Structure 1
């Protein structure tokens, strides 16, 4: 049965792929190679598999290139968006700071005017009390004088009647009555002038009260505007600070110690020695507005420190052209067949000569060749961080050179222990290797 089945299959193959002979002729002999149907079928199947594998591999490479190009464009757009956002926030911060300064100046002027009006009001009130006291004294004196006048008139009439009964003349005390009437007229005129002055002071007090109420109203409106400005500034600082703080925490960096180091590096002070002046506007204690302004300024200072720290930590990409990740951080099979080995960085495969950029500000501590790395660059950054760039085809910096984030430091290559063109990128914190993707992913929503 098996022989008969084999015969039928062989017969069917001969109909489709008949036996062929390949003749090889030389000067003295002629030979041929027999290509049986099974051999032709195996060759055809092998060719088909080879063509299919070639098409599949080409498709994978094209898809990786498109994905890498899209990732690069997205990174560039995010970086441009962050820079524009940071510039807008800086401009808004400057405007808000200017508005806060002008509002504080207006508030101080208003306080000075209120202080002047209160002083004038107190002086007016004291003058009014003095006038009321003087008026009361004058009224008492006038009442006493009127009573004395009436008594004098009664006495004068009594004496006149008595003199008239005794002598028949009533002109003996005329001079005395004239003096009393002159004194009474003088007191009456003085009392009238005092009353007019009292009315004038009362009108002045009313006017001062109205002006004081207007100043207090202006003060309340100014306070409301200050609260609105301070609220917007506080909100802007909070919104700007949150992604930066999240980025550093995602990278595993202590924000407090990080900001202390940056502050120590940017703590220069100086200037000529001048005499100390003390303000008498509000005493030694800060007003609530001044405290809020100080808190906003502290927040802006912290955001500026974050911005400086972001340039000193490796949050940028070392490769900005099209590439694909070919090996990650951690354990992997050695590409040269040496078993499972630890990989202390990430590999980014791209075109030969692709620019390699510094991922943060720092100082080049090695620029040469090293075993396994080939042509390699090592950069020391702040916060105990180092970055390593291996297998380069060209080195564009020198040892001891200071570089900034985004500076081109070399070209991608395949030197050292390498199977093809790529960049071996490492990040070390306090000498220990960490996954560079931690920093790259932490910055994806910021840069």
Structure 2
């Protein structure tokens, strides 16, 4: 049962079940809204826009080490070893540790059923049960576990199911779009809105990887 003091936006955030529902809701909320600070709508590393690269996207891919087609439950963002990794929303650290595949990792629980994970770290500076703020440092980029080079493996879950982090990070996509607009303006080329040009998942794939 919804609490009587919950706003309409809060109630809808709690109730959304698919990426398309989230996309429609979040893009309708002002970028100045307090609710955007409660959801992981940005990336956990501050890579300059002109240097931003996703080295391995969300979805089916050929594993770089096992050389087999496997489902990739997050995105791998190219980053230098030692780069600061930050929490993408306020939350509680649920787990830190080492996994043979993910290497050193951190798992953070957020509001509205969101959870984020950060893998292949060189180390972390938080403990289970610790409350973290958005943009607070939690670790550093590394290449631990099954990794061919330093990068950040980033995962977002909603109610236990994974979401494509790049699709969901609409604030980042808007920044990329504005950057491309300014870059292409002189040549007279137009750039489509990234929030509309990218395909959306109709539902969340279930995965623990």
For Structure 1 versus Structure 2, the TM-score category normalised by the shorter chain is 0.5 to 0.7
* Bigger Rg, structure 1 or 2: 1
Say if 1:352 and 1:411, in contact at 8 Å, map to a contact too. yes
How far did residue 349 of structure 1 move?
1.6
Residue of structure 2 equivalent to 1:340: 69
What residue is the counterpart of 1:315 in the other structure? Answer: 41
TM superposition shift of 1:336: 1.3
2:80 aligned with 1:354, yes or no? no
State the distance in 2 between where 1:435 and 1:393 align.
24
Deviations 1:67-121 (A, max 9, x none): xxxxxxxxxxxxxxxxxxxxxxxxxxxxxxxxxxxxxxxxxxxxxxxxxxxxxxx
Which of residues 38, 53, 56 in structure 2 aligns to 1:324? 53
Aligned length: 157
Q: Which residue of 1 is the match for residue 157 of structure 2?
A: 428
Distance in structure 2 (CA, Å) of the matches to 1:254 and 1:327 = 22
Q: Determine which structure has greater relative contact order: mean sequence separation of CA pairs < 8 Å that are 6+ residues apart, divided by chain length.
A: 2
- 2:22 matched residue in structure 1: 253
Higher strand share: 2
Partner Cα distance (1:390, 1:419) in 2: 13
Structure 2 residue 164 is matched with structure 1 residue 395: no
Segments of structure 1 that go 5 or more residues without pairing to the other structure are 1-247, 259-301
| Structure 1 residue 337, shift from structure 2 partner | 3.3
After superposition, the CA RMSD in angstroms is 3.1
1:415 is aligned to 144
Offset of residue 311 of structure 1: 1.0
Closer, same or farther in 2 for the Cα pair 1:370/1:358, shift >3 Å?
same
Partner of 1:367: 96
Structure with the bigger percentage of helix: 1
Tell me, in whole angstroms, the C-alpha distance in 2 between the residues paired with 1:405 and 1:378: 14
Structure 1 moving runs of 4+ over 2 Å: 248-256, 321-324, 441-447
> Structure 2: how far apart are the matches of 1:415 and 1:320?
20
- Asked if structure 1 preserves the Cα contact closer than 8 Å seen for 2:42 and 2:170, the reply is no
Task: State the TM-score, normalized to the length of structure 1.
Answer: 0.32
SS in 1 for 2:22: coil
